[in-house]
Chains A and B, each alone.
Chain A
Amino acid sequence: MLGLGGRKSPLVWVMHLSVLLLVVLWTLPTAGLFITSLRTADQISVSGWWTALSSAERNAITRTPDGSAETQVGDRYVIAGNVLKNGGEVVAFGRSSLKPTQFKPGEVADLGDGITLSVKADGSYELSGPTKLEGGQRIFYTARTPPAFTLGNYAHVLSANGMLRAFMNSLTVAVPATVIPILIAAYAAFALAWMPFPGRSLLIAIIVGLLVVPLQMSLIPILTLYNDIGKATAVDAHGVIGTLMHYSGLGQMSDDGTQIGLNPKSYLGVWLAHTGFGLPLAIFLLRNYMVGLPREIIESARVDGATDFQIFTRIVLPLSFPALASFAIFQFLWTWNDLLVATVFLSHQQDSLVMTGKLKDLLGSHGGDWEILAASAFISISVPLLVFFALQKYLVRGLLAGSVK
């Protein structure tokens, strides 16, 4: 062990190896997805992504054009062309499906009746015979294509009709759906952590209890509620509220153009839904973090004359950045990747179709194309990644260093 690991215990090596193994295990699927996203549909259908760096060999058949394409060279009739359309090289060819790799490139195959076929490595073939040719001769060949990567899938996904719009729609959903719950939860968490009032622990217990309520269960009741609100506000058609809502973009003109009601399928609705679904966890996380702040710091601020609100804004909030950032990352990920809530609470129109919905449509209309799926997955990952790296510097430990011993 001395030679290899110095004085390190063998366990350290086991640990390092396990960590390495886990890292590989975790990143392998992502790497595969990424490589797949850079390959063409053909490459994907022929071989797995792990062969992407080696040349791919594939067997194929092509047919020469019919006799009308022939030319006369000397005393022979010739049909010439190229079997390869996308580059690469031919490593073998043959004249029948029984022996598709009978000949090496450059060799001349005798097809009988003086007709010969030769295929060169670059794919060019020449079919020649002493008499007029019928054409339509099948050529079996094995082509080797060098590794090739393409950004075409990305171009395809990005240039898809309405993708930019869907991207913006997703941001329109995700950003407020992240900010609103944090704003509410920070206040709530501070109160639950540091402001004694009757029934506080019961309230905390209820909020923790809300964590187990499955989102799916509440979708229908909430949508019903939204619809009812829509109807109720529609009755109030000519009131000031209705007009305001109309001009603020929240309202909706009904069919006859006179009634104005609250649109049950609007961004406001999806923000509120995401806020509601995110709040229990947000309050729980933030409260637990805030309650762990040293009591003395808060008491010290109180002795210094700070009000509860000042303690919250000047002391607790800045010190809670790590918790705020972690929750922001979580919530943004969920709302960004969410399809269910958006499908339920947003209409399927262009102006409110989110990116997940758009990608689903894209896949649907192409019958589950892998290259589209892979590329769109990466496009959709990119934003949460950006958010993560932007907030990552707040996820520091030791923010409290130096405050208390």
Chain B
Amino acid sequence: MADLIMKDVAKAYGEVKVLSNINLDIKQGELIVFVGPSGCGKSTLLRMVAGLESITSGTLSIDGRVVNEVPPAQRGIAMVFQSYALYPHMTVRDNMAFALKIARKSQDEINAAVENAARILQLTPYLDRLPKALSGGQRQRVAIGRAIVRDPKVYLFDEPLSNLDAALRVATRIEIAQLKENMPDSTMIYVTHDQVEAMTLASRIVVLAGGGISQVGTPLDLYERPENEFVAQFIGSPAMNLLPGEIVETGPETVVRLSVGGLVRTAVPTRDSDKGLKVNVGARPEDMVPTEADEHLFEGTVGITEALGEVTLLYFDKKGEAAQVIAKLPGIHAGLRHKTLRLAADPKKIHLFSNGRSLLYR
């Protein structure tokens, strides 16, 4: 239960740089989610925190103590692995007690800790079972219980839900959220590639991409004010539409003429010198609304529609070089296929990116 500070942390395997320039300041009680596409190094970063991977350069400190060279067990961390990693030859009780036995705690202490963790996770009836007699969700809870009994300063979760089926994943996700609620002082780092997990669990999300941190912020921060095109497209599903254009009017509100036709007004402020700047206009599919007005963001023919009941996804036919535009309309819309539709969006929800960076941050 402490602060965790990474300073210029980097990881390289020989010549291959995997991560570099990681600066992160995690406060006590936060639930930080590392999210990113596969291969971005998020698990590596977590394993570096755990001490299972060495830190090539930079410093990692937990609770004010530099722990670069400290073995995992003495860092005050506990880790929950993606594959549970239960000890198959031990009962649930022994699995949870293992770390305490290694640490030579007294039997009373061990029993108390195990019973407590089992009670929190509702595992008490299963304490004397072997892992193979448990369901996937129960196994994952045992893995979490193993972390709880150690009473660590920092909990590390490495994609803990990705082995569960969809329904169980939602249930376990809520359990983890409740667990966090019950232990407000404990710090947690959670790795996932699932943005729903990231959005629902995190107090702050760290988006990792290309060997570095893309953006750090609260879930809604990332959603509403993405710092760059990568974060903008990574958070939210379907991904944000990006349309190339040119700034024609600057000021507290900016007007952009799109290369595929259309003119859009956005609440992003620009300087006079920005006039003529080539930008990408970002609009989330769910922010696009059909319009009859002349001032529109996009006009195109609906190619494929996906009716999900709750929403309808419209995939517009591609126009030239631009990426496919997707719109998400609430409710059911039948018969839109092959129709030409004009879309507009609230100026407050339009993003502008130049060279991949948002114009909000400069």
Say yes or no: A402 contacts B52, CB within 8 Å. no
B150 within 8 Å of A by Cβ?
Answer: yes
**Cα separation A305 to B77 with both chains bound (whole Å):** 10
Say yes or no: B103 contacts A305, CB within 8 Å. yes
Provide the B28-55 mask, 1 if CB < 8 A to any CB of A, else 0: 0000000000000000000000111000
A9 within 8 Å of B by Cβ?
Answer: no
Q: Hey, which chain A residues are within 8 Å of B102, CB to CB?
A: 304-306, 310
**Cα separation A297 to B72 with both chains bound (whole Å):** 14
Known pairs A296-B83, A297-B86, A303-B78 / 19 extra A-B pairs, C-beta < 8 Å: A296-B82, A300-B79, A302-B72, A303-B72, A303-B77, A304-B73, A304-B102, A306-B102, A315-B87, A319-B89, A399-B88, A402-B86, A402-B131, A403-B83, A403-B84, A403-B86, A403-B131, A404-B86, A405-B139
Chain B residue with the shortest CB-CB distance to A305: B73
**Cβ 8 A contact of B87, one of A301, A302, A303, A401:** A301
Say yes or no: A403 contacts B88, CB within 8 Å. yes
Q: Hey, which chain B residues are within 8 Å of A314, CB to CB?
A: 98
A318 within 8 Å of B by Cβ?
Answer: yes
B93 within 8 Å of A by Cβ?
Answer: no
Q: How far is the CB of A404 from chain B (nearest CB, A)?
A: 4
**Residue among A305, A310, A398, A400 with the most chain B CB within 10 A?**
A305
Q: Hey, which chain B residues are within 8 Å of A310, CB to CB?
A: 102
* 19 A-B pairs with C-beta separation under 8 A: A296-B82, A297-B85, A297-B88, A300-B146, A301-B87, A301-B98, A302-B52, A302-B71, A303-B51, A303-B77, A304-B73, A304-B99, A305-B74, A305-B99, A305-B103, A310-B102, A398-B132, A399-B89, A402-B134
Q: Hey, which chain B residues are within 8 Å of A296, CB to CB?
A: 81-85
B163 within 8 Å of A by Cβ?
Answer: yes
Q: Hey, which chain B residues are within 8 Å of A110, CB to CB?
A: none
**Residue among B85, B132, B150, B163 with the most chain A CB within 10 A?**
B85
A48 within 8 Å of B by Cβ?
Answer: no
Count of A-B contacts judged by CB separation below 8 Å:
86
Chain B residue with the shortest CB-CB distance to A298: B85
Chain B residue with the shortest CB-CB distance to A307: B102
Say yes or no: B77 contacts A400, CB within 8 Å. no
B248 within 8 Å of A by Cβ?
Answer: no
**Cβ 8 A contact of B139, one of A299, A318, A402:** A402
Which residues of A does B touch, CB under 8 Å?
294, 296-297, 299-306, 310, 314-315, 318-319, 398-405
**Cα separation A314 to B133 with both chains bound (whole Å):** 21
B262 within 8 Å of A by Cβ?
Answer: no
**Cβ 8 A contact of B85, one of A294, A306, A401:** A294
Q: Hey, which chain A residues are within 8 Å of B290, CB to CB?
A: none
Say yes or no: A405 contacts B84, CB within 8 Å. yes
**Cβ 8 A contact of A304, one of B88, B98, B134:** B98
**Cα separation A402 to B142 with both chains bound (whole Å):** 11
Q: Hey, which chain B residues are within 8 Å of A403, CB to CB?
A: 83-88, 131
**Residue among B72, B87, B88, B130 with the most chain A CB within 10 A?**
B88
**Cα separation A190 to B206 with both chains bound (whole Å):** 38
Q: Hey, which chain B residues are within 8 Å of A302, CB to CB?
A: 52, 71-73
Q: Hey, which chain A residues are within 8 Å of B146, CB to CB?
A: 300, 304
Interface size on B, residues (CB 8 A): 33
Q: Hey, which chain A residues are within 8 Å of B78, CB to CB?
A: 303
Say yes or no: A299 contacts B52, CB within 8 Å. yes
B212 within 8 Å of A by Cβ?
Answer: no
**Residue among A300, A301, A318 with the most chain B CB within 10 A?**
A300
Say yes or no: B132 contacts A401, CB within 8 Å. yes
Say yes or no: B83 contacts A402, CB within 8 Å. no
**Cα separation A299 to B81 with both chains bound (whole Å):** 9
**Cα separation A399 to B90 with both chains bound (whole Å):** 11
Say yes or no: B73 contacts A297, CB within 8 Å. no
Q: How far is the CB of B88 from chain A (nearest CB, A)?
A: 4
Q: How far is the CB of A320 from chain B (nearest CB, A)?
A: 10
B136 within 8 Å of A by Cβ?
Answer: yes
Q: Which of B52-105 contact A (CB under 8 A)?
A: 52, 71-74, 77-79, 81-89, 98-99, 102-103
Q: Hey, which chain A residues are within 8 Å of B150, CB to CB?
A: 304
**Cα separation A310 to B102 with both chains bound (whole Å):** 8
Q: How far is the CB of A289 from chain B (nearest CB, A)?
A: 14
**Cα separation A305 to B102 with both chains bound (whole Å):** 6
Given A398-B132, A403-B88; A294-B139 close (CB under 8 Å): no
Q: How far is the CB of A317 from chain B (nearest CB, A)?
A: 10
**Cα separation A231 to B298 with both chains bound (whole Å):** 98
Say yes or no: A300 contacts B88, CB within 8 Å. no
* Closest 3 pairs (CB-CB, A-B): A305-B73, A402-B132, A402-B131
Q: Hey, which chain B residues are within 8 Å of A297, CB to CB?
A: 85-88
Q: How far is the CB of B353 from chain A (nearest CB, A)?
A: 40
Chain B residue with the shortest CB-CB distance to A306: B102
**Cα separation A14 to B177 with both chains bound (whole Å):** 57
Say yes or no: B79 contacts A405, CB within 8 Å. no
Given A398-B132, A405-B136, A405-B163; A303-B84 close (CB under 8 Å): no
**Cα separation A314 to B102 with both chains bound (whole Å):** 10
Q: Hey, which chain A residues are within 8 Å of B131, CB to CB?
A: 401-403
Q: Hey, which chain B residues are within 8 Å of A404, CB to CB?
A: 83-86
Q: How far is the CB of B148 from chain A (nearest CB, A)?
A: 13
Q: How far is the CB of A34 from chain B (nearest CB, A)?
A: 39
**Cα separation A302 to B81 with both chains bound (whole Å):** 13
Q: How far is the CB of A196 from chain B (nearest CB, A)?
A: 11
Chain B residue with the shortest CB-CB distance to A401: B132
Say yes or no: A303 contacts B88, CB within 8 Å. no
Q: How far is the CB of A197 from chain B (nearest CB, A)?
A: 15
